[in-house]
Structure 1
Amino acid sequence: MGDEKHMKDPSALPHSPPHGSEEELRGLLSALPEKAAVRGMLFNAVLEVVRQRGGEAAVQRCLAALGERQFLDFFSYPSGKYLEVLYAAARLGSGEKEDFETALRQLGQQAAENFLVSAAGRTLLVLVQGDPHRLLNKLPWAILVGVSGVEVDVKPTGPWSGVLTVKGDFSPRPFVEGGFLATFEAAKVKGTKVRSWQAEPGVNAYELSWT
C-alpha cells in the first residue's frame, strides 16, 4: 500500500485526544471544509439510532440542541451539526459492552441502509448489479449524494481490492467504514473487508477488499 509512514493511524499517537472526547469533536469541527454540508437523510439515520437507544425524548433533545425541528432527507445542512449529533448518538451507544468506535461503525451502517432504500440508493444497487468493481467506482457518486465539500478518488489495487481517498473528509473513519461494509453487503459482495488510515491532514484513505 506504499510507504508505511503514510499508514500510521494518528489516533494512536500520544498527543491525540481520546476517541469520543469533547476535545476530539472540537478538533474535527475546527477543521471542517468551508463548503462541507450533509443531506438530511444522514441526520435522520443517526436520529433513528438515537430513537432506538434513548426513545423519542432523546431525539427531541438532540433536535433542540441543534436548533432544528426536523431534517428533510434531500436538504443540505451544516456538517458541524452533523458531527455533533453523530457524537451524541455514538456516546449513547458506547458503554461496557460497546466502545465508541463500534458505536460509530453501527451508525455508519444505519446511515448506509437509509441511503440504500432511497431512490438514489436503489439506483446504485441496480447499476452495480453485484459487481464489486462497479460498486467501487460508483462510491464517489454515492458519497457526494449525501455529503458535499469533499473530493473522492478511486484506485483499483488488484482484482479483489481498491482504495478510496477522500479529501476534506470530516467524518470519523469508523463511521465511514461501517457505511462501506453495509453497502457492499447490500450489493451481495462476499468477504468484504475495510481498513482505513489518515494519508495526510484532512485526507483519509479506505482500502476495500473482497473475495
Structure 2
Amino acid sequence: MPTDKNDLAQRIAICKPEDTVRGFIFKSVYGLVEQRMGNTGVDRLLQQLRVNKLPVDFFSYPSADFLRLLYTASDMLEPYYPSVEEAIRACGAATVTGFFKSYVGNTLVKLIGMNDPKRLFSSVDTVYSTLVSYGKRSYEDLGPTRYRLDFQGDMQPVYFHEGAHREALRVMRGNGTVTGTVLTLNHAQYLHEYT
C-alpha cells in the first residue's frame, strides 16, 4: 500500500521556509534506493522529484523537499520491505548510517563512545540541531536501560524516527526496541529499551 499522500500534504503544510535538513540526510535515502534498486532506481527517483543533482552533504535544504523525497523513496522501496511503514523505517535507519559516517557523527562518536545510548540520546536536542533547523527534543531517564525522547515541532513521520533510533541502538548496543507514540502531527514520544 503506498504512502498516505494526505499525510504528506499535511506535513508539508506545517513546514516553515526556514525549516531545513542537512544534505547528507537526503543522500542517505538516495543511497538506500541505490543499494536496493541500483542506479536506475536513483535516476527514477530524481526524475519523479524533478531534481537534477544530489545534494551536498553539509548544505541545508528545505524540510518539505526531504518529506517529498522520503515519501517517494518509501513508495519505491515498499516491494523490498514488509510494508511501506517498514520502508520509511529503513530510510530512517539509513540516515543513521550516513550520520555515523559523516564528519559530525564521527566526531560525536569519538567524544561519547559507542557503548552508551543514554549518553548519546541525553544530548538529543544538540545532536538533532546539527542535522535539522526545526523542533525541540528532550530526554527523560526511566531507569538503567530505558529512556523516553519527546520530539515537538518535528514534521517527520514517527516511523522515520523509530527506524533511525533503532539503528542507533543496534550500532551502539546490538539490540533494543524503540516504540513511537504519536501525540499530534508534529509531536511524538519514543520509548527506548535495551539490554
Q: Deviations along 1:24-82, whole A, 9 cap, x unmatched?
A: 21121112245311000011011112223333233234334243422000000001110
Aligned 1:101-180 pairs, distance under 5 A: 101-129=85-113, 130-180=115-165
User: Structure 1 stretch 22-31 or stretch 54-63: which is displaced more?
Assistant: 54-63
Report the Cα distance in structure 2 between the residues aligned to 1:171 and 1:138, rounded to whole angstroms.
19
1:100: which partner in 2?
84
* Amino acid across the alignment from 1:88: T
Instruction: Please give the root-mean-square deviation of Cα atoms over the aligned residues, in Å.
Output: 2.0
1:13: which partner in 2?
none
Aligned 1:1-211 pairs, distance under 5 A: 20-64=3-47, 65-95=49-79, 98-129=82-113, 130-187=115-172, 189-211=173-195
Q: Which runs of 4+ in 1 moved over 4 A?
A: none
Normalising by structure 2, report the TM-score. 0.89
Aligned length: 193
Q: 1:165 offset after TM fit, Å?
A: 0.8
Q: Deviations along 1:64-104, whole A, 9 cap, x unmatched?
A: 42434220000000011101111111111113852101111
Report the Cα distance in structure 2 between the residues aligned to 1:151 and 1:97, rounded to whole angstroms.
31
* Amino acid across the alignment from 2:152: K
- SS of residue matched to 1:73: coil
Q: 1:160 offset after TM fit, Å?
A: 1.4
User: Structure 1 stretch 72-81 or stretch 163-172: which is displaced more?
Assistant: 163-172
Alpha-carbon distance change, 105 to 97 in structure 1, aligned in 2, over 3 angstroms: closer
For the Cα contact (< 8 Å) 1:116–1:183, is it kept in 2?
Answer: no
User: Structure 1 stretch 167-176 or stretch 121-130: which is displaced more?
Assistant: 121-130
Larger Rg over CA atoms: 1
Alpha-carbon distance change, 19 to 194 in structure 1, aligned in 2, over 3 angstroms: farther
Report the Cα distance in structure 2 between the residues aligned to 1:62 and 1:144, rounded to whole angstroms.
27
User: Structure 1 stretch 193-202 or stretch 148-157: which is displaced more?
Assistant: 193-202
Q: 1:199 offset after TM fit, Å?
A: 2.5
- SS of residue matched to 2:192: strand
Alpha-carbon distance change, 197 to 142 in structure 1, aligned in 2, over 3 angstroms: same
Question: Percent identical across equivalent pairs?
Answer: 27
Gaps of at least 5 residues in structure 1 are 1-17
Alpha-carbon distance change, 68 to 146 in structure 1, aligned in 2, over 3 angstroms: farther
1:10: which partner in 2?
none
Report the Cα distance in structure 2 between the residues aligned to 1:69 and 1:201, rounded to whole angstroms.
30
